[in-house]
């Protein structure tokens, strides 16, 4: 492939370091671009009084990042609005939280047109263009309107919802049709891919041919399942570094012989944090003898705090953790350590390694990289157990995890009990199978697989 032009809502500085609550997408693209070189374009995260489209460039590690500032109205309607109050809840099956406002849809379209105007001059002949995620679904079509003939791919990092759910979105067909401007469209799982195929064939009248090729009028798009992975080598190294070892030691010391269960999630209603607390509470109720032998560390850095539903989940979790701790804690033990701050990546790796159980219980998740990171950080001689929601995209690959239905507190409580008692031989066997997948299907594999589909299309 010649140069790669990656376009996503937010751009991470290509420093090779990871900090704060950086999302999985940023982590993955950084790893891909560090190896490949090219341009990464997106929103700076900054606001401006008047949109000019002026680009700010930074250089580093063979990657040029190019960003633009947005006006308040764009941020409210495009980012907080259509992306995070309409598409995010709907695509995570939360139609009860999805807000359908014409102003959001208009702002989304306008901002995508602005992105198209700005990035158009950066696309050279022969470059491959790779657009990321739900913020930018119509961008490919806008670029085609501006004469871009290059190969263009799109990757959706969140689930594609079932046809009947998506049909509740005003102008859903128009939005889905814009995906036909791309040569390749990628999803994490077969399930999301099949939902897209179902919508395209039944609602748009597209035909599905060999190799996932969908045809609509004179446009064809190859739709594929291409699961994202982590930078496994980097993460395993991080988990063995000095900061990870210090964090590991600190956690083990503070655990005082108790088993730690860990959860790490952006504070988001899709991550099933309420259900996780209820499942854990159920475990405490049903196993009074084991109570003081465990504790749950839940790390949940706040995200999207300008959106009401995120403020609400935060206060719900504050109340729940307080209630559960109040009901069960003793003078020398609290059942839940609930922490609303982010930690450096290598510290996180040490914390994962110190945990007997990784508890990953999203109600819906495109993939979920925390599940993979937890596995990668384990001690091969004495690994912990991954408990994983069936509704995370990662469950399609990580079949040797203890798979659960996060809506069932009973099932979660049973899984915790079972994991705590799991013999070492079984833990090692399951971990080896999980790790084989995480090593083989890492972030570079993901990128290469997508790039190969784009070249073949």
DSSP 8-state secondary structure symbol assigned to residue 349: H
Site for ligand GDG in 190-229 (CB under 6 A): 228
69 binds ligand GDG (CB under 6 A): no
Say how far apart CA 216 and CA 214 lie, in whole Å: 7
Please name which of 19, 16, 20, 18 lies closest in space to residue 34, comparing C-alpha atoms.
16
Kindly indicate which of the ranges 25-33, 169-177, 244-252, 255-263 contains the residues binding ligand GDG, using the contact rule CB under 6 A.
25-33
Kindly indicate which of the ranges 42-50, 137-145, 285-293, 364-372 contains the residues binding ligand GDG, using the contact rule CB under 6 A.
364-372
What number of chain residues touch ligand GDG (CB under 6 A)? 28
Looking at beta carbons only, is 286 or 396 nearer to ligand GDG?
396
Say how far apart CA 236 and CA 242 lie, in whole Å: 12
Q: Using CB under 6 A, which of 135, 144, 151, 266 touches ligand GDG?
A: 266
342 binds ligand GDG (CB under 6 A): yes
DSSP 8-state secondary structure symbol assigned to residue 367: -
Looking at beta carbons only, is 212 or 301 nearer to ligand GDG?
301
For residues 74, 77, 81 and 87, what is the CA-based torsion angle, rounded to 10 degrees?
-90
Looking at beta carbons only, is 78 or 374 nearer to ligand GDG?
374
Annotated active-site residue 442? The verdict is no
Q: Using CB under 6 A, which of 144, 157, 314, 427 touches ligand GDG?
A: 157
Q: Using CB under 6 A, which of 366, 383, 384, 406 touches ligand GDG?
A: 366
| Burial 232-266, CB ≥16 within 10 A → b, else e | bebbbebbbeebbeebbeebeeebeeebbbbbbbb
24 binds ligand GDG (CB under 6 A): yes
For residues 6, 9, 13 and 18, what is the CA-based torsion angle, rounded to 10 degrees?
-110
Q: Using CB under 6 A, which of 344, 405, 408, 417 touches ligand GDG?
A: 344
Please name which of 38, 55, 45 lies closest in space to residue 10, comparing C-alpha atoms.
45
The percent helix, strand, coil of the chain (3-state, each to 5) is 50, 20, 30
Annotated active-site residue 157? The verdict is yes
369 binds ligand GDG (CB under 6 A): yes
Catalytic residue (one of 74, 157, 265, 442): 157
Looking at beta carbons only, is 348 or 401 nearer to ligand GDG?
348
- Give me the half-sphere count of Cα atoms (radius 13 Å) on the Cβ side of residue 374: 25
Looking at beta carbons only, is 41 or 192 nearer to ligand GDG?
192
Helices (H), 120-210: 139-145, 163-166, 172-177, 190-202
Shortest CB 371 distance to ligand GDG, Å? 8
21 binds ligand GDG (CB under 6 A): yes
Q: What are phi and psi of 273, to 5 degrees?
A: -75, -40
Helical (H) or strand (E) element with 295 = strand 294-299
Which residue ranges make up the site for ligand GDG (CB under 6 A)? 18-19, 21-25, 27-28, 157-158, 228, 264, 266, 299, 301, 342-345, 348, 365-370, 373
Active site residues: 157, 365
């Amino acid at each position: 492939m010649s140069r790669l032009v990656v376009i996503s809502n937010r751009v991470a500085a290509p420093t090779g370091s990871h900090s704060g609550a950086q999302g999985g997408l940023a982590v993955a693209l950084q790893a891909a671009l560090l190896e490949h070189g090219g341009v990464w374009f997106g929103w700076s995260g900054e606001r401006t009084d008047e949109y000019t489209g002026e680009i700010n460039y930074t250089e580093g590690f063979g990657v040029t990042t190019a960003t633009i500032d947005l006006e308040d109205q764009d941020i409210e309607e495009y980012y907080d609005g259509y992306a995070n109050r309409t598409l995010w809840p709907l695509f995570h099956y939360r139609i009860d939280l999805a807000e359908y406002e014409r102003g959001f849809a208009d702002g989304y379209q306008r901002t995508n047109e602005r992105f198209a105007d700005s990035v158009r001059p950066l696309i050279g002949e022969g470059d491959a263009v790779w657009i990321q995620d739900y913020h930018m679904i119509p961008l490919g079509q806008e670029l085609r309107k501006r004469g871009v003939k290059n190969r263009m791919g799109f990757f959706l990092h969140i689930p594609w919802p079932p046809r009947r759910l998506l049909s509740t979105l005003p102008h859903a067909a128009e939005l889905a049709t814009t995906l036909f401007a791309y040569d390749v469209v990628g999803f994490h799982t077969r399930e999301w891919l099949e939902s897209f195929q179902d919508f395209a064939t039944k609602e748009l009248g597209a035909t599905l041919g060999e190799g996932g090729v969908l045809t609509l009028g004179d446009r064809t798009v190859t739709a594929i399942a291409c699961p994202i992975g982590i930078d496994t080598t980097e993460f395993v190294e991080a988990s063995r570094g000095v900061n990870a070892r210090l964090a590991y030691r600190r956690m083990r010391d503070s655990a005082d012989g108790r088993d730690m269960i860990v959860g790490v999630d952006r504070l988001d209603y899709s991550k099933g944090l309420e259900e996780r607390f209820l499942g854990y509470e159920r475990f405490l109720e049903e196993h009074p003898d084991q109570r003081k032998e465990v504790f749950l560390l839940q790390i949940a850095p706040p995200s999207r705090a300008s959106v009401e539903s995120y403020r609400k989940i935060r206060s719900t979790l504050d109340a729940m953790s307080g209630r559960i701790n109040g009901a069960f804690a003793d003078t020398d033990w609290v059942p839940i350590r609930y922490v609303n701050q982010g930690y450096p990546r290598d510290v996180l790796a040490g914390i994962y390694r110190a945990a007997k159980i990784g508890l990953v219980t999203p109600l819906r998740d495109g993939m979920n990289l925390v599940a993979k990171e937890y596995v990668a950080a384990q001690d091969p001689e004495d690994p912990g157990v991954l408990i994983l929601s069936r509704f995370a995209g990662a469950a399609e690959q990580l079949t040797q995890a203890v798979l659960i239905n996060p809506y069932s507190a009973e099932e979660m409580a049973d899984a915790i009990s079972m994991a705590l008692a799991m013999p070492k031989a079984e833990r090692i066997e399951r971990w080896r199978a999980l790790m084989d997948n995480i090593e083989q299907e890492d972030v570079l594999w993901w990128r290469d697989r997508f790039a190969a589909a784009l070249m073949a299309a």
